[in-house]
Structure 1
Amino acid sequence: MGGTYTLLIRLAEPTDIEVGALGCHRFAAGWYGYTGSALGAGGFSRIDRHAQVATGERDTRHWHIDYLLGYPDATLVGDVRTEADVECTVARALPSGPVAGFGASDCDCESHLTYAPDRETLVRAVESAHEQAR
């Protein structure tokens, strides 16, 4: 079974990261939520792929999130999942992200990346967005 997920990512230090075609962007230290979909045959196994990029087991940078997860000071700490196709609904319910177009090249959302200065604020917002989308 698949659906929609939001990855919870901690960035320990502020940094500039090249994000593929989106160019170089400044990322503040803090917490990021990336909302994506896992609707194919593998379902939520896509999250395992993201974890492999985050731990360095996989080097391929295919999606925007790979550039953030592949940065050494970024840590994937968890995720929130909903077994429904509500990716854009969740992304739009979260505060606008620091990088316009991030993860949103195939839709009209402003961004699928959100930012919060602390874990509690991020988790509360992400859980609320997923709950509202159900």
Structure 2
Amino acid sequence: MSPGTYTLLLSRSAPATIAFGAAGERRLDRGWYAYTGSAFGPGGLSRVERHRRVASGEHDVRHWHVDYLTGDPGTRLDAVFVTEDADRECDVARALADAGEPVPGLGASDCDCGTHVAYAAERETLAAVASEEHESVR
């Protein structure tokens, strides 16, 4: 599968405190979360399928910060936005954080960004930006 950048759009039906491994606990409100990542290693964007398996409960290994969010029973994967063959991870993450509210310290341990996770109370706040920033929805 080709490499690229992706954004997971996630919903939470209730607030919760989630432990994000070494990043510590975060209190997350009910609402919508967007996580932006990149997949340029072996397998490329097949990484998105791994995120789907974690979200569905089929895979319980927690490797990245987002795994703790997608693997929480109160989180639902709503949509995946994808841009193939382009590393836009930090640009997209910043645009989403500017549109919503950044969730500090998550998903950005390999760059200088403060976060790659954004929050908004309404779906459209994040979905509109993700749609503008990416080529397709899967």
- Same fold, TM exceeding 0.5? yes
Report the Cα distance in structure 2 between the residues aligned to 1:51 and 1:108, rounded to whole angstroms: 27
Q: Which residue of 1 aligns with 2:109?
A: 105
CA contact 2:11–2:77 (8 Å) conserved in 1: yes
Q: Shift of residue 129 of structure 1? A: 3.4
C-alpha separation between the residues in 1 aligned to 2:55 and 2:134? Answer: 23
2: distance between equivalents of 1:130 and 1:36? 12
Map Cα deviations across residues 28-57 of structure 1 (whole Å, 9 max, x no partner). 010110000011231111010001111111
| Residue in structure 2 matched with residue 94 of structure 1 by the alignment | 96
TM-superposed CA distance for 1:2, in Å, is 1.6
> By how many angstroms is 1:92 displaced?
1.5
> Contact between 1:94 and 1:129, CA under 8 Å: does it hold in 2?
no
Give the whole-Å Cα distance in 2 for the aligned partners of 1:24 and 1:110: 16
* Separation of aligned partners in 2, 1:29 and 1:37: 26
Matched, 1:3 2:4: yes
What aligned pairs does 1:1-134 form with structure 2 within 5 A after superposition?
Answer: 1-83=2-84, 84-95=86-97, 97-130=101-134
- Secondary structure of 1:45's counterpart equals helix
Shift of 1:78: 1.1
Question: What SS does structure 2 have at the residue aligned with 1:95?
Answer: helix
Q: Which runs of 5+ in 2 are unaligned?
A: none
Letter in 2 for 1:101: G
Structure 1 counterpart of 2:123, which letter? R
Give the length in aligned residue pairs. 131
TM-score (norm 1): 0.91
Q: What is the TM-score with the length of structure 2 in the denominator?
A: 0.89
In 2, Cα distance between equivalents of 1:101 and 1:15: 17
- Unmatched segments (≥5 aa) in structure 1: none
Structure 2 residue matching 1:77: 3-state secondary structure: strand
- Bigger drift between 122-131 and 106-115 goes to 122-131
The one-letter code matched in structure 2 to 1:44 is L
The whole-number CA distance in structure 2 between the counterparts of 1:44 and 1:18 is 26
| Identity of matched residues, % | 55
Distance 2:65 2:42 in 1: 22
